[in-house]
Amino acid sequence: MIRPLHPLLVRRRSSSTAALAVVALVALGSGCGGGSGDNSAAQQTVLTFRFTDGGGASTVTLTCPGKDTGTKSACAQLAKVAPDVFSPVPKAKVCTQIFGGPEKLAVSGHYDNTIVSAGLSRENGCEIDRWDMIAPVLKALALVGP
């Protein structure tokens, strides 16, 4: 035969369960990003640029906001063109068949809470346009000359 629990024990369990539920809800609510707290860590940009020019390769990691003059400049230039510059050229777009050079760039990491994995080149007019958009960033990072 099963004996019912004592009413005080049942209430105590219910109140402790309710208290635990309230604590859990408060903890979850405080972790939401809807407040006016500082979300700069969540908004941080960390990108790795791997540049090749047919002869050698260079790799630089950019973290924004930057701390030194070159990094601050690169972050400011990146803000002007990102995230559009990371989007591939649409397959149906007609591009001039002009070869701009052997340079290639692979960009990976996070930009403004978005995962980035992009390849840029100078293999046709459309790609050259994308390259020209990101060129100021590459110059600020000293990956390409002035």
* pLDDT tens-digit map of 30-54: 334 444 444 444 568 999 999 999 8
Amino acid identity of 90? P
Can you say whether residue 17 is alpha, beta or left, with left for phi > 0 and alpha for psi between -120 and 50 degrees? alpha
Strand partners, 105: 51, 120
pLDDT in tens, 62-85: 999 878 888 899 999 999 999 999
pLDDT of residue 113: 85
| Cα separation, 146 vs 144, whole angstroms | 7
pLDDT at 132 over 80: yes
CATH 3.30.230 for domain 45-140: no
The pTM (predicted TM-score) of the whole model is 0.68
pLDDT of residue 6 exceeding 60, the answer is no
Residue 125 in contact with residue 95, Cβ under 8 Å?
A: yes
Rounded average pLDDT over 117-125: 96
Please name the amino acid found at residue 1.
Answer: M
Helix or strand holding residue 132 (H, E): helix 125-140
Please report the pLDDT score of residue 40 as a whole number.
47
Domain boundaries, the chain: 45-140
Residue 146 near residue 125 (C-beta atoms within 8 A): no
Residue 36 is predicted with a pLDDT of 41
**Per-residue pLDDT tens digits for 87-115:** 999 999 999 999 999 999 999 999 988 99
Burial (Cβ within 10 Å: 0-12, 13-18, ≥19) of residue 106: middle
Q: Which pLDDT score is estimated for 43? A: 64
